Amino acid sequence: MKALRPREEKLISFIRAQVKNHGVAPSLDEMAAFCGVKSKSHAHRMVDELVWAGYLKRFPNRARGLELVQTKDNHLPDCECARCGELRYLAQLQLVKAIHVAPEIGPGVRLVGLRSPTVQERASLLGVKLFKAAPRTRTAIPLGGGR
């Protein structure tokens, strides 16, 4: 979510207070009067920006059809309070703990404190079947120019 400008923060707090006190969101006239702007269209643009940024949800074809997008603990997603910061940290920590990555063991990988695997162990880990090499034979190479 993008950072809010002071006027947008003020509008969000006004909407939150109106919903808490009256059970419905304020009208565009009330928002314009509260923010000190002369036209409803300017208040409408501010609401559109907040909807686009993800701070508000709009219900089409309903008067005062706005809803604050909130987290489980009734704070906005980018709330700066210590409790929200701690909850975000714990949620991220749970995600990291849920990721399980098996260590890669194969050629060229060294694990500290362990001996390197033998050729047979590597072959079994990689699923490769080992064959015995044929015995080497030497052939005589003629010396000189025996044409």
Residue 64, classified by CB atoms within 10 Å of its CB into exposed (0-12), middle (13-18) or buried (19+), is middle
Neighbours of 117 (CB within 10 A): 17
H-helix or E-strand spanning residue 68: strand 66-68
* pLDDT score of 110: 60
- How do residues 79-99 score in pLDDT, each as one tens digit? 677 766 777 777 777 777 777
- Whose tokens are 């701070």? That residue is 55
- How do residues 14-49 score in pLDDT, each as one tens digit? 888 888 788 888 898 998 998 888 888 998 999 998
* pLDDT score of 45: 92
pLDDT at 68 over 70: yes
* pLDDT score of 79: 66
Domains with residue ranges and CATH for the chain: 6-68 (1.10.10.10)
